[in-house]
Each structure stands twice: as structure tokens, then as C-alpha cells.
A = this chain, B = another copy of it.
Amino acid sequence: MTFAEATRLDLDGDSLRGEIPPGWDIMGNANGGYLLALAARGATSIAGRPDPVTITGHFLRPAQAGPVSITGEVLKEGKRFATVLVRLAGKPGPLVVALATVGELSAEPGPVIHAALPPQLPPPEECVPIEPTDTFPPPFVGRIDLRLNPADIGGAIGRPTGEASMTGWFRLRDGEPLGTHTLVMATDSFPPTTFNLDIPQAWVPTIELTTHVRGRPTPGWLRCRFTTRYISDGFLEEDGEIWDEIGRLVAQSRQLALVPRG
């Protein structure tokens, strides 16, 4: 099943209907990035604008496979952007609430200033493909094509490197084209950076995830970097950067997560 199919929404009166298919999960719960992409699809659809520009999701409860509904409220209709509140609900109730600004992304004239470089990675064929199992790696990674940088692989095989970093390549399977909604999912698609730290391990519960989309990616692989700089008081941030094959920064993300208690 493609990403496009897994995030398809159909109009149903005042709301949108979709379906979380089986297999987009981490230990039974749908991946947060996938859910935020679904919410982003709702936001752009409701506002009638093609691209998510920024979206913040708060995760209200774990989401299992099954039917979902999305309701949206356009809070502002501007010339360039619209702001939309989106509620994604499943059978047990509300799953995700999201605030999004949406619009049409195009190459804007103006300064390009980068104070940091894209992550330096070996080519995809020299990186480590992640293939799913029923448990770990989780089914979700079978929906995407992930190639981890060998330098960061330690955390995924129980040998933490000591650096809270995960870098690698991302694309969809079977040549499915990338879009701006894919970027939203990609910002939560890698193993947690904390896998590379020598701390008690468990999946990291996300409180909120914000993704900024800067532009439409060129076809090909996405070059991705996730890092955590500060773990304290039970919280950590995970910052993501996604670059396309021609070296453009196409998305940035930050999530606030709880430190795993092991």
C-alpha cells in the first residue's frame, strides 16, 4: 500500500473520512509522523491549498488501525497562507489535534543562507537498509525505504554510539513520488536518537511534533539528520532536518518527548 493510499481522505458531509491501514505502526500504534501527515492531508484538503507549511500535532492517545474522521476549522484565510485547526479521531475518540498553516510552496526569491551543512552520508547503497519484522524493527519501516548511516547504526542493534544522532536516507517504496506531506511523515520515521545513548531504552513517547516544510522535494532520496542536544528534567527534544537530493533544505522538525523510563 502506498503512502498516498494510506493517507487518502474522502469527503463525508462536513468532515473527511480515512482509514489507518494495518502495518503503519510501531508495536501496534500508528507512527506519529504518519498520523501528522494524515492531519496535514486534512488541513490542506479543507483549506484547498496544496502544501503544509507548518504543522504542530499533540498526540492525545495511541492510534490503532481502523477508520478515522477528520474535522477542520479554517481560522484564517490569507492571501499566501491559511491557518487550520484539525481534529483526527478514531473509534475510541480523539487521536491527534493539530494546528497547521498551509499554502502553496514555490521557489521564493531572496537570500539563501545556511550556517550548517547537510549531513555527510555514504551513498544509499553503502548505508544499512532497515527491514521490518513483527516486533523490532517495527512494521512501519516496511512502508518506507530507510537506509541508516553505518556510523549511527549502533543504537539500532543494541550498541549505542554515545551520540544522540540518527542520520540516513529516506524514500518511499516502489518509486512512489515524494510530496510535501511525505516530508511531514519523514520527520518522525527514524529510530529515536536516544537509541544511541547509554540510557534505559524504550520507545520515546512524543508530546508534540512540529514540522516546518520549506519546499517541495526534488525526486530521489531524502538526506536526513536527527539530533538530540538536551536531555533533562524528564524531557528531550529531537530536531530533524531533511534535505533533498539537490541539497535543498526541504523540512525541519522538532519534537518534545518524554525520556524513556526503561
Contact pick for A101, options B75, B112, B208, CB 8 Å: B208
- Residue among B110, B164, B248 making CB contact with A259, cutoff 8 Å: B110
Per DSSP, are chain A's interface residues mostly helix, strand or loop, or mixed?
strand
Tell me how many chains of this kind the complex includes: 2
CA distance A249 to B229 in the complex (A): 11
Complex contact A111–B233 (CB within 8 A): no
Interchain CB contact under 8 A, B231 and A113: yes
Question: Contacts A101-B58, A228-B115, A259-B111; is A233 near B208 (CB within 8 Å)?
Answer: no
Kindly identify, within residues 151 to 174 of chain A, every residue whose CB is under 8 Å from any CB belonging to chain B: 163-164
Q: A199 to chain B: which residues have CB within 8 Å?
A: 111, 113
Chain B residues near A234: list those with CB within 8 A.
108-110
* Contact of A181 with B by CB under 8 A: no
Q: Which chain B residues border A97 with CB–CB below 8 Å?
A: 75, 83, 85, 99
Q: Does A69 contact B (CB under 8 A)?
A: no
Instruction: Please determine whether B208 and A232 come into contact, CB atoms closer than 8 angstroms.
Output: no
In the bound complex, CA of A228 to CA of B113 (Å): 9
- Which residues of chain B are near A229, meaning CB under 8 Å? 114-116
- With A and B bound together, what is the CA distance between A113 and B237 in angstroms? 12
Mark A212-244 against chain B: 1 for CB-CB distance below 8 A, else 0.
Answer: 101100000000000111111111010000000
A53 at the interface (CB under 8 A from B): yes
Contacts of A112 in B (CB 8 A): 231-233
Q: Is B60 a contact of A208 with CB atoms below 8 Å? A: no
28 pairs of residues in contact across A and B, judged by CB atoms under 8 Å? A54-B208, A54-B256, A56-B56, A56-B208, A56-B210, A58-B76, A58-B101, A61-B76, A75-B94, A75-B97, A85-B97, A99-B99, A101-B207, A101-B208, A108-B234, A110-B231, A110-B261, A114-B229, A114-B232, A115-B164, A210-B210, A212-B256, A214-B232, A214-B233, A214-B235, A215-B233, A230-B249, A233-B248
